[in-house]
Amino acid sequence: MNKFFEGFSSRVATAAGRPSAFILALAIVITWGVTGPLFHWSDTWQLVINTGTTIVTFLMVFLIQNAQNRDGAAIQAKLDELIRAVGHARNEFIGIEHLTELELDKIREALEKNVGDEPSRHEAIVRLISRR
């Protein structure tokens, strides 16, 4: 079941991000809007678009979240491997994504303090950008 859902959600999320999916959704909304006078702007006419968009949105949240969870886990695994493979990197950082937000904030603050003050970091970024 998991393998089927992961494959299905991946394909749907990929398809939903294509321009053709946007054009299809736009065409449906335009068609709905144009048919308003035909149905005399009835409550049923309004209910069709409201129900349809609610159902699609509800289902897409789960499919896209599944795809993002897998992408995030893959990126984290790649970063962990880079940390492990680089000689000067600190292996203690492997797995920190499991810490609380407060613990992560403390680590980030300590790293920023270790790097130096804001103006020097900004100057380094400006120099890096100007190299291009």
Mean pLDDT value of segment 60-74: 90
Question: Residue 59: pLDDT above 90?
Answer: yes
Q: What is the pTM of this model?
A: 0.62
pLDDT of residue 117: 66
Question: Residue 44: pLDDT above 80?
Answer: yes
Higher pLDDT, 108 or 22: 22
pLDDT tens profile 30-41 = 999 999 999 999
Measure the CA–CA gap between 81 and 44, rounded to whole angstroms: 55
Mean pLDDT value of segment 94-113: 87
